[in-house]
Amino acid sequence: MPTRILLADDHLIVRQGLKALLEHEGFAIVAEVGDGQEAVRSARERCPDVAVLDFAMPLLNGLGAAREILRTCPRAKAILLTMHTDDHYVLEALQAGVKGYVVKTQASGDLVRAINEVLRGMMYLSPGISQAVVEAYLSKSEVPPDPLTAREREVLQLVAEGKSTKEIAKLLGISFKTAESHRTRIMKKTNIHETAGLVRYAVRRGLIQP
Protein backbone atom coordinates (compact mmCIF):
# COMPACT_ATOMS: atom_id res chain seq x y z
CA MET A 1 0.00 0.00 0.00
CA PRO A 2 1.56 3.35 -1.01
CA THR A 3 2.45 5.98 1.59
CA ARG A 4 -0.43 8.47 1.97
CA ILE A 5 0.63 12.11 1.72
CA LEU A 6 -1.16 15.37 2.52
CA LEU A 7 0.30 18.26 0.54
CA ALA A 8 -0.24 21.87 1.68
CA ASP A 9 1.13 24.91 -0.15
CA ASP A 10 -0.65 28.14 -1.05
CA HIS A 11 1.02 28.31 -4.48
CA LEU A 12 -0.89 26.10 -6.90
CA ILE A 13 2.04 25.74 -9.30
CA VAL A 14 4.35 24.58 -6.47
CA ARG A 15 1.70 22.13 -5.28
CA GLN A 16 1.22 20.68 -8.77
CA GLY A 17 4.99 20.28 -9.21
CA LEU A 18 5.39 18.52 -5.86
CA LYS A 19 2.37 16.31 -6.53
CA ALA A 20 3.80 15.18 -9.90
CA LEU A 21 7.19 14.51 -8.27
CA LEU A 22 5.73 12.47 -5.40
CA GLU A 23 3.29 10.49 -7.54
CA HIS A 24 6.14 9.65 -9.90
CA GLU A 25 7.96 8.20 -6.85
CA GLY A 26 4.96 6.02 -6.01
CA PHE A 27 3.41 8.04 -3.17
CA ALA A 28 -0.37 8.56 -2.95
CA ILE A 29 -1.54 12.18 -2.53
CA VAL A 30 -4.70 11.89 -0.40
CA ALA A 31 -5.27 15.66 -0.13
CA GLU A 32 -3.80 18.85 -1.54
CA VAL A 33 -4.76 22.16 0.05
CA GLY A 34 -3.80 25.84 -0.02
CA ASP A 35 -3.88 26.99 3.59
CA GLY A 36 -3.11 25.77 7.11
CA GLN A 37 -6.71 25.54 8.33
CA GLU A 38 -7.65 23.37 5.34
CA ALA A 39 -4.58 21.20 6.02
CA VAL A 40 -5.74 20.55 9.60
CA ARG A 41 -9.30 19.76 8.42
CA SER A 42 -8.05 17.35 5.74
CA ALA A 43 -5.69 15.64 8.19
CA ARG A 44 -8.58 15.06 10.64
CA GLU A 45 -10.60 13.41 7.87
CA ARG A 46 -7.83 11.34 6.30
CA CYS A 47 -5.02 10.97 8.88
CA PRO A 48 -2.18 10.80 6.30
CA ASP A 49 1.12 9.02 6.90
CA VAL A 50 3.04 12.20 6.09
CA ALA A 51 1.95 15.86 6.01
CA VAL A 52 4.14 18.04 3.77
CA LEU A 53 3.47 21.63 4.83
CA ASP A 54 4.67 24.94 3.43
CA PHE A 55 5.88 27.11 6.33
CA ALA A 56 4.34 30.35 5.04
CA MET A 57 0.63 29.66 4.45
CA PRO A 58 -2.33 31.98 5.01
CA LEU A 59 -4.84 31.60 7.89
CA LEU A 60 -2.55 29.20 9.78
CA ASN A 61 1.13 28.74 8.98
CA GLY A 62 2.84 25.41 8.49
CA LEU A 63 4.23 25.20 12.00
CA GLY A 64 0.82 25.88 13.57
CA ALA A 65 -0.78 23.36 11.21
CA ALA A 66 1.90 20.77 12.08
CA ARG A 67 1.19 21.15 15.81
CA GLU A 68 -2.55 20.61 15.26
CA ILE A 69 -2.08 17.70 12.84
CA LEU A 70 0.32 15.88 15.19
CA ARG A 71 -2.14 16.39 18.04
CA THR A 72 -5.07 14.89 16.10
CA CYS A 73 -3.04 12.25 14.17
CA PRO A 74 -0.15 11.25 16.45
CA ARG A 75 1.08 8.60 13.98
CA ALA A 76 1.50 11.14 11.17
CA LYS A 77 4.92 12.60 10.35
CA ALA A 78 5.22 16.31 9.58
CA ILE A 79 7.68 17.81 7.09
CA LEU A 80 8.04 21.58 6.69
CA LEU A 81 8.95 23.23 3.39
CA THR A 82 10.50 26.61 4.04
CA MET A 83 12.75 29.44 2.91
CA HIS A 84 13.88 29.99 6.53
CA THR A 85 17.29 28.58 7.45
CA ASP A 86 17.73 30.55 10.72
CA ASP A 87 18.39 28.18 13.60
CA HIS A 88 15.55 29.48 15.78
CA TYR A 89 12.97 28.53 13.11
CA VAL A 90 14.51 25.07 12.83
CA LEU A 91 14.68 24.56 16.60
CA GLU A 92 11.09 25.72 17.08
CA ALA A 93 9.97 23.27 14.39
CA LEU A 94 11.87 20.37 15.97
CA GLN A 95 10.48 21.23 19.41
CA ALA A 96 6.98 21.13 17.89
CA GLY A 97 7.57 17.55 16.72
CA VAL A 98 8.34 18.22 13.05
CA LYS A 99 10.54 15.39 11.70
CA GLY A 100 11.62 16.87 8.37
CA TYR A 101 12.79 20.39 7.54
CA VAL A 102 13.34 20.95 3.82
CA VAL A 103 14.60 24.20 2.30
CA LYS A 104 12.41 25.08 -0.69
CA THR A 105 15.31 25.76 -3.04
CA GLN A 106 16.35 22.12 -2.58
CA ALA A 107 12.84 20.65 -2.36
CA SER A 108 12.79 18.64 -5.57
CA GLY A 109 15.87 16.64 -4.59
CA ASP A 110 15.38 16.64 -0.82
CA LEU A 111 11.67 16.01 -0.36
CA VAL A 112 11.57 12.37 -1.46
CA ARG A 113 14.64 11.65 0.67
CA ALA A 114 13.03 13.46 3.62
CA ILE A 115 9.80 11.43 3.34
CA ASN A 116 11.70 8.14 3.19
CA GLU A 117 13.86 9.12 6.18
CA VAL A 118 10.96 10.18 8.43
CA LEU A 119 9.02 7.02 7.55
CA ARG A 120 12.01 5.04 8.84
CA GLY A 121 11.78 6.93 12.13
CA MET A 122 14.69 9.23 11.34
CA MET A 123 14.87 13.02 11.23
CA TYR A 124 15.73 14.87 8.02
CA LEU A 125 17.23 18.36 7.72
CA SER A 126 18.25 19.93 4.41
CA PRO A 127 22.07 20.15 4.17
CA GLY A 128 22.01 23.95 4.30
CA ILE A 129 20.55 24.04 7.80
CA SER A 130 22.17 21.11 9.55
CA GLN A 131 25.16 23.20 10.59
CA ALA A 132 22.97 25.95 12.04
CA VAL A 133 21.09 23.45 14.19
CA VAL A 134 24.25 21.70 15.36
CA GLU A 135 25.74 25.05 16.37
CA ALA A 136 22.52 26.02 18.14
CA TYR A 137 22.49 22.80 20.15
CA LEU A 138 26.19 23.09 20.97
CA SER A 139 25.79 26.66 22.18
CA LYS A 140 22.69 25.59 24.17
CA SER A 141 20.71 28.31 22.44
CA GLU A 142 16.98 27.95 22.86
CA VAL A 143 14.00 29.54 21.23
CA PRO A 144 12.72 32.29 23.52
CA PRO A 145 9.47 30.94 24.96
CA ASP A 146 6.38 32.10 23.12
CA PRO A 147 3.88 33.49 25.65
CA LEU A 148 0.95 32.89 23.31
CA THR A 149 -1.33 29.85 23.14
CA ALA A 150 -1.91 28.04 19.84
CA ARG A 151 -5.25 29.83 19.41
CA GLU A 152 -3.67 33.22 20.17
CA ARG A 153 -0.95 32.55 17.57
CA GLU A 154 -3.68 31.74 15.07
CA VAL A 155 -5.49 35.00 15.87
CA LEU A 156 -2.22 36.96 15.70
CA GLN A 157 -1.45 35.58 12.24
CA LEU A 158 -4.90 36.66 11.03
CA VAL A 159 -4.43 40.14 12.57
CA ALA A 160 -1.07 40.41 10.81
CA GLU A 161 -2.72 39.36 7.54
CA GLY A 162 -5.01 42.40 7.90
CA LYS A 163 -8.19 40.60 8.97
CA SER A 164 -10.71 42.53 11.11
CA THR A 165 -11.98 41.14 14.43
CA LYS A 166 -15.30 40.34 12.71
CA GLU A 167 -13.50 38.42 9.91
CA ILE A 168 -11.33 36.56 12.46
CA ALA A 169 -14.44 35.49 14.41
CA LYS A 170 -16.04 34.16 11.21
CA LEU A 171 -12.89 32.34 10.01
CA LEU A 172 -12.33 30.63 13.37
CA GLY A 173 -16.00 29.96 14.09
CA ILE A 174 -15.96 31.95 17.34
CA SER A 175 -18.00 34.91 18.59
CA PHE A 176 -16.90 38.51 17.97
CA LYS A 177 -16.48 38.94 21.73
CA THR A 178 -14.17 35.88 21.99
CA ALA A 179 -12.08 37.09 19.04
CA GLU A 180 -11.80 40.51 20.66
CA SER A 181 -10.71 39.03 24.01
CA HIS A 182 -8.04 36.92 22.23
CA ARG A 183 -6.73 40.10 20.60
CA THR A 184 -6.70 41.92 23.96
CA ARG A 185 -4.80 39.05 25.62
CA ILE A 186 -2.24 39.00 22.79
CA MET A 187 -1.59 42.72 23.28
CA LYS A 188 -1.30 42.27 27.03
CA LYS A 189 1.06 39.27 26.83
CA THR A 190 3.33 40.84 24.20
CA ASN A 191 3.04 44.35 25.64
CA ILE A 192 2.33 45.60 22.10
CA HIS A 193 -0.69 47.82 21.73
CA GLU A 194 -0.82 48.78 18.05
CA THR A 195 -1.41 46.68 14.95
CA ALA A 196 1.87 47.63 13.23
CA GLY A 197 3.80 46.32 16.26
CA LEU A 198 1.79 43.08 16.25
CA VAL A 199 2.60 42.60 12.55
CA ARG A 200 6.33 43.03 13.28
CA TYR A 201 6.06 40.52 16.17
CA ALA A 202 4.27 38.02 13.86
CA VAL A 203 7.06 38.38 11.27
CA ARG A 204 9.75 37.82 13.94
CA ARG A 205 7.98 34.65 15.13
CA GLY A 206 7.71 33.39 11.54
CA LEU A 207 3.89 33.51 11.54
CA ILE A 208 3.89 35.52 8.33
CA GLN A 209 6.44 36.41 5.67
CA PRO A 210 7.90 39.95 5.79
Residue range 87-121, pLDDT digits in tens: 777 878 888 889 999 988 777 778 999 999 999 99
In this model, does residue 205 exceed pLDDT 70? yes
**What is the pLDDT averaged over residues 140-154?**
75
* CA distance to 10, 144, 173, 191, per residue, from 84 (Å): 16, 17, 31, 26
80: which residues sit within 8 A by CB, 6+ positions away? 53, 54, 55, 62, 63, 66, 93, 98, 100, 101, 102
pTM of the model: 0.78
The dihedral region occupied by 187, where left means phi > 0, alpha psi between -120 and 50, and beta the remainder, is: alpha
Q: Which of 34-43, 118-127, 133-142, 145-154 has the lowest mean pLDDT?
A: 133-142
Domains for the chain: give ranges and CATH numbers. 4-138 (3.40.50.2300), 150-204 (1.10.10.10)
Q: Does 202 or 144 have the greater pLDDT score?
A: 202
